[in-house]
Structure 1
Amino acid sequence: MARERLLAPSRILRTTPRQVGGGRQREVLVEKARESIARGSKSFSFASSLFDRSTREKVWLLYAWCRRCDDVADGQDHGGKLSQQSNNVSRVKGIRALTHRALEGQPTAEIAFDAFGQVAMEARITQGLADDVIDGFALDAEEWRPRSEADMMRYCYHVAGAVGVMMALVMGISPDEDETLDRACDLGLAFQLNNIARDIYEDDAAGRCYLPVEWLVEEDIPPGQHMKPAYREKLVKLVAKMLDMAEDHEAAARYGARNLSFRQRWAVLSAANIYGAIGREVRKRGGNAWDHRVHISKAAKARHVTRAFTQALLPAKEPKYYPEWTRTLLQKHAKA
C-alpha cells in the first residue's frame, strides 16, 4: 500500500526560530517607542529624559507596550475619550496572546508588543508579571467594581503596582531584591490612587467607578450617585482617605529610591513629585476638584524636577511606618 504523501517534505518543516523583538531592529523599536511616549504621556516622557540612555530606551520600550495594551483594551489611540465598549473580553484575550507570543520571541505584527519582547528579554521581565498587568485590563473588560478596599488595592496593583516592579527591573534591579521591588510597587500604587482621585468624573461618565462599594455604603452614598452635588461633601471625605493612602505609599517609595543610581533616583523622585502634585491639587480643590481636570503645567513640572535633583542628593528619610497594602499581600489577593 502506497504511503500517504505529505503536503511538504518533512525535512523542510521547521519551527519558527526565536526572534527577540519580533525580528525587528532594536533601533526601530526604540524610535517608535520614543514617539509613543512623547505622544501619550508628557509627564512620563519628561521624567524618562533624566535616565541614562540605556535605561531611558528600555523605559520607552516598556511604556509602548503599556500604552498599546491600554488603547486596545479601551478602544483608544494614546488615551483620550473611551470608544463604544464592545468585545472587551476578546480584546484582552488578544492582548494576552500577543504578549505571550512576544515573550516567546515570535513576531506579533504589532510593534509595541515586539518592543515588549525586546525589553522583557533585556530586563528579565517574566510572563507572570506581564499577566499581572493584563489581569487589570481583564477586570475592566468584565465591568468589575471594587467592593472592598482590598479589591481597590488589588486593582491598583494590577494596573500600576506591577508596572512599577517592571520599571525597577528595567533600571537593573535584580528580581531577588525584594525590598527595592516592594518600594517600586508602592510608587505605582501611589500613582494609581492619585489617578483614581483625579479621574472620578471621567470614570463616572464612562460608567466606571473605582471607589469601594463598602466606602460608599459607610457614607450613605447610593451606588452610581457619588457625583451628585448632594453627596459632594461626602465624596471629598472619601477621596481624602484615598489620598492619605497614596501619600503613605509615596513616602515608602521615596525611601526605596535610595537603592538606585543618582540619575535613576532623580528620575523616580521627579515622577513622584509630579504625580504626587496631582493628588495634592485634588485635595486642595476640595469639592471643586472635578469641575475641571487637574493637570500639572510645564513650569510646575520643571520645578518638581529641579526639587527632585536636590532630594536625590540628600539622605533618604525612612517612613515611621509602612503602608498596610504590601506587594506580597496584593499578589496573594490577585491569585485568590
Structure 2
Amino acid sequence: MSEPSGTVLAASEESIAQGSKSFAAAARLFDARTRADAVMLYAWCRHCDDVVDGQILGMGRAEMAGTPAERLDALYEETRRAYGGAPSAHPAFAAFAEVVARNDIPERYPLQLLEGFRMDVEGRRYERLDDTLTYCYHVAGVVGVMMALIMGAREEVVLDRASDLGLAFQLTNISRDVIEDAGIGRLYLPADFLAEAGIPEDRVAAPENREKVAAVTARLLDMAEPYYDQALIGIRALPLRSASAIATARAVYRAIGTKVRAAGPRAWDARASTSKAEKLRLLAGGVAAALASRVAGPAPARPTHLWTRPS
C-alpha cells in the first residue's frame, strides 16, 4: 500500500487542528499510519460538512455557489468519481481517495454520511428517539465504522461497537449545541421528548424554556450512556495504540456531556469543552482503559433495546 502524500496529509492535519481539538488530542496516540489515515478521513468529512453548510471549519459563513442541495449533489458526484479513480484537485478529496483505497472502505459508508447531510438540507423532522438515532448514525456512527476499518477492524460486531461510539458522540453534540442549532432552524431533539416537556418546537431557544430544555438534554445524555458502554467493550478488539486513542476520545466526549448535564439551564451560556489539563488526565485514563481491555473477561450480551446500524 502506498504512503500518504505529504501535501495532502499536511492539509488534513491543518483541518483537524482547527476543526476538532478533542479528536486531535486523541489522535496523537495512533501509530503514524493510522493517524495519517484517520486525519485524512476527518478532513474529508469536515470538508463535506462545510460545503453543505456554507462554512469554513464549522464556523462563520462562506460564499459558495449553488444551493445547499446542489452542493450536496456535487459532493455525491465527486465521491463516486473518487471511487472510480478520477483525480481531484481538492486536498480533502485527494486525501479521501487515498484513504478509501488503502483501507478498502466500501462506497456505501461515505454515501451514508452524505445521506445524513441530506437530512439537514431537507430539514428532516425527528419524531421519536429512533429517528434521532438514525440521523446520529448517518452523521457520526458511520464515521465510527470507517475509522474502525482504518484501524484494521473487519468483524461486523466490532464495526457495530464503533457505530455505537459515533451515536454516543452525536447525542452529546446534540445536547451541547441544541440552542445554537435551534437558532439556525435545526432541531434534533425527538419531538415526543419536547411535547412531554411542554416545549413548543419553535421555542426551544427561548430563555424561559432553558430549564425544560436542560431536562430534555439530560434525558438524551442518559440515552447516550449505554452506547458509550458498548464502545468501551469494542476497544478490546483494536490494536493497543488505536484502543488508547479511541478510549481517550470516548472519555473526552463523555466528559463534555457530563458538563452539559451538570450545568443545567446554564449549559449554553458558553460552549462546553475540556481544558488541556483535563484532556491530559483523560488521555491517561484512556490508555489505562485500553490496557485494562486486554485482560477483560467476556463481554456481556448487548442489550436488545439498543438501536442497531443498518446491515
TM-score between both structures, scaled by the size of structure 2: 0.93
Corresponding position of 1:11? none
Q: Which string of whole-angstrom CA distances, capped at 9 and with x for unpartnered residues, describes residues 134-187 of structure 1? A: 00111111122212211111100000000000000010112xx01100000001
Q: Distance in 2 between matches of 1:157 and 1:70?
A: 15
| Correspondent of 1:214 among 184, 192, 210 | 192
What fraction of aligned residue pairs are identical, expressed as a percent?
Answer: 42
Is 1:235 matched with 2:233? no
Corresponding position of 1:6? none
Unaligned stretches of 5+ residues in structure 1: 1-19
Corresponding position of 2:230? 252
Q: Distance in 1 between matches of 2:101 and 2:214?
A: 44
Is 1:72 matched with 2:51? yes
Corresponding position of 1:108? 88
Is 1:144 matched with 2:124? yes
| Correspondent of 1:81 among 57, 60, 63 | 60
Corresponding position of 2:251? 273
| Correspondent of 1:92 among 63, 72, 77 | 72
1:252–1:323: 8 Å Cα contact kept in structure 2? no
Moved over 6 A (4+): none
Relative to 1, partners in 2 of residues 1:323 and 1:114: Cα closer, same or farther, differing over 3 Å? farther
Q: Which string of whole-angstrom CA distances, capped at 9 and with x for unpartnered residues, describes residues 101-136 of structure 1? A: 111110122120121111001111111111100001
| Correspondent of 2:135 among 155, 168, 180 | 155
Q: Distance in 2 between matches of 1:323 and 1:130?
A: 27
Q: How far does residue 321 in structure 1 lie from its aligned partner after superposition?
A: 5.0
Structure 1 window deviating more from structure 2 (115-124 vs 34-43): it is 34-43
2:141–2:164: 8 Å Cα contact kept in structure 1? yes
Q: Which string of whole-angstrom CA distances, capped at 9 and with x for unpartnered residues, describes residues 238-266 of structure 1? A: 11111011111001001110011111110
Is 1:326 matched with 2:307? yes
Relative to 1, partners in 2 of residues 1:262 and 1:220: Cα closer, same or farther, differing over 3 Å? same
- Aligned AA (2:271): R
Partner-residue secondary structure (3-state), 2:60: coil
Relative to 1, partners in 2 of residues 1:274 and 1:293: Cα closer, same or farther, differing over 3 Å? same
1:252–1:319: 8 Å Cα contact kept in structure 2? no
Q: Distance in 1 between matches of 2:61 and 2:263?
A: 26
Q: Distance in 2 between matches of 1:241 and 1:320?
A: 24
- Aligned AA (1:145): R
Q: Which residues of 2 match residues 125-144 of structure 1 at below 5 A?
A: 125-144=105-124
Is 1:62 matched with 2:41? yes
Relative to 1, partners in 2 of residues 1:288 and 1:180: Cα closer, same or farther, differing over 3 Å? same
Partner-residue secondary structure (3-state), 1:327: coil
Structure label with greater radius of gyration: 1
Q: CA RMSD in A?
A: 2.1
Q: Distance in 2 between matches of 1:183 and 1:310?
A: 19
Q: How far does residue 38 in structure 1 lie from its aligned partner after superposition?
A: 1.4
Q: Distance in 2 between matches of 1:293 and 1:30?
A: 29
Relative to 1, partners in 2 of residues 1:223 and 1:263: Cα closer, same or farther, differing over 3 Å? same
Relative to 1, partners in 2 of residues 1:319 and 1:204: Cα closer, same or farther, differing over 3 Å? farther
- Aligned AA (2:7): V
TM-score between both structures, scaled by the size of structure 1: 0.86
Corresponding position of 2:201? 223
1:252–1:322: 8 Å Cα contact kept in structure 2? no
Corresponding position of 2:240? 262
